[in-house]
Amino acid sequence: MKPNKKGNQLPRTKQANFSLNDEEYNLICSYIKKYKITNKSRWMRETIIKHVLKSLDQDHPTLFGENEMRR
């Protein structure tokens, strides 16, 4: 793979689109304004990826089931 201008980052060739209602959009806009986020795309991407990684980490397989561990 050929590195781009920003180093070893992989090129982003896939798009993910989603819709928001007015209330959700206004909430995100006020958050972005309050915390002075300048790159909305990066913020959304990082927020989603952090949530996914956290969920995957919490859902890792265990040797015993939950009921067996509570005994």
- Sequence ranges of the domains in the chain: 22-56
Question: pTM of the predicted model, to two decimals?
Answer: 0.68
Residue 2 is classified by DSSP as: -
Residue 64 is classified by DSSP as: S
With CA atoms as reference, report the closest residue to 24 among 12, 32, 14, 35: 32
pLDDT, tens digit only, all 71 positions of the chain: 455 555 678 999 999 999 999 999 999 999 999 999 999 999 999 999 999 999 988 887 777 777 777 77
CB neighbour burial string for 54-66, b if at least 16 within 10 angstroms, e if fewer: eeeeeeeeeeeee
